[in-house]
Structure 1
């Protein structure tokens, strides 16, 4: 198995993306620590993992609270013996569906400040343990790319670009300590869209229409790609992006 005896923390592990990644990590042998602000979604994912023979634990956590993040990372490392993988896929509170000229500045900036804050805090907490181990992987997730006409994403693209800048800086600083930092780039995952989202089918169609393969990545494919990126099979991959956009995002 790709991640046998690895310990992984997934912030936002109760969501669609986080849950898919957690299940894939567990299938590949990792012990998964799910963290988020709502216990029931976390426990649902954990129950699924345990039912299939995997190891999963849940914890209530606000990933924008530095002390809480540090305490949780310390507990994971003390309990499991190491912290090998960290991935943050919490929601950023973005407002979509409005052109920028009709937005409040607070709504535009919220996902940017949240993304930067939480990525900084969770990456810092993980890196402090990984530096002692001389190994580890920090994964980011985003859809950084050119905005599409008619698809109003508010501050989301700006947030993704900020996270990419942080990923490059982290990779440079942490590389000498044996720590890899990789981003999974997606042009959107239709399965992850909220069922009650206004215009959900139109958004899903726009995601598919932007691809070269005429289909978007599935949640299972996201999980599989994350498991590969976190594994020793990708041991030479850092300061890099793994493009899982089905061609929607051209490599730069």
Structure 2
């Protein structure tokens, strides 16, 4: 198994992406610690994977630090940390009609939570001599063909997180810590059934790909498990491109 003997924290582990990653990590032998604000959803996933659930607000410095310390006290290490909490973004409204608060909120939320959770994990990983910090999102393609899709502040958010990821990778590499992002062109599975623009968004995702197929939640889990494993030990400071050709590197 790819992650046998590894201890992983997943912030936002009760959500669609977090739970998919949690299932993949557990399948590959990791001991999974789910963290989030809603215990009901966390516990549902924890039961499925024989994991651990804890109520943690990833925007609360004291809670994040205390939980990381508790995981190390219980399990002995933090080998993998992944933050996939909601960025609280507002989409569908043209920028010129948005409030400043709605536009900038996801930037503040994402950078604050990823700074706190990455820092908490890194402090333990530095002592251990290694670990993996994973982000989700990656840079976003801008195309004139997408003028009908108003993404609000989420594109700026992803770019900001990528800048943070590069800086972390440079500063933490000497300690054997790898920092990576998983980048998709959008996951159709995460669009709620019945959402009025679901078909339109799905088509916009698929039309950009070279294969006519987009990444699924299961794909994200599988790639995350590989990225966190020792088989990917030479990969750091970069994105793993899961866009099916929507973004050509």
- TM-score bracket, normalised by the shorter chain, equals over 0.9
Instruction: Note the alpha carbon deviations across 1:53-92, whole angstroms, 9 max, x for none.
Output: xxx0001111000110000000001100100000000001
Question: In the aligned structure 2, how far is the partner of 1:194 from the partner of 1:124?
Answer: 33
164, 167, 172: which is aligned to 2:165? 167
Question: Is 2:43 aligned against 1:48?
Answer: no
Q: How many residues align?
A: 246
Gapped runs of 5+ residues in structure 2? Answer: none
Contact kept? 2:214, 2:243, Cα under 8 Å: yes
Question: In the aligned structure 1, how far is the partner of 2:197 from the partner of 2:138?
Answer: 20
Alignment-derived partner of residue 21 in structure 1: 21
Question: In the aligned structure 2, how far is the partner of 1:95 from the partner of 1:249?
Answer: 24
- SS of the residue aligned with 1:82? coil
Contact kept? 2:138, 2:181, Cα under 8 Å: no
Alignment-derived partner of residue 38 in structure 2: 38
Moved more, 102-111 or 201-210: 201-210
TM-score, structure 2 normalization: 0.96
Question: In the aligned structure 1, how far is the partner of 2:202 from the partner of 2:47?
Answer: 29
Q: CA deviation at 1:196?
A: 4.7
Alignment-derived partner of residue 116 in structure 1: 111
Question: Is 2:245 aligned against 1:250?
Answer: no
Question: In the aligned structure 2, how far is the partner of 1:196 from the partner of 1:102?
Answer: 25
- SS of the residue aligned with 1:159? helix
Question: Is 2:5 aligned against 1:10?
Answer: no
Gapped runs of 5+ residues in structure 1? Answer: 51-55
Q: CA deviation at 1:146?
A: 2.1
- SS of the residue aligned with 1:110? helix
77, 81, 87: which is aligned to 1:82? 77
The 5-angstrom pairing of residues 61-80 of structure 1 reads 61-80=56-75
Moved more, 131-140 or 149-158: 149-158
Alignment-derived partner of residue 93 in structure 1: 88
Alignment-derived partner of residue 191 in structure 1: 189
The 5-angstrom pairing of residues 167-246 of structure 1 reads 167-246=165-244
Question: In the aligned structure 2, how far is the partner of 1:6 from the partner of 1:12?
Answer: 19
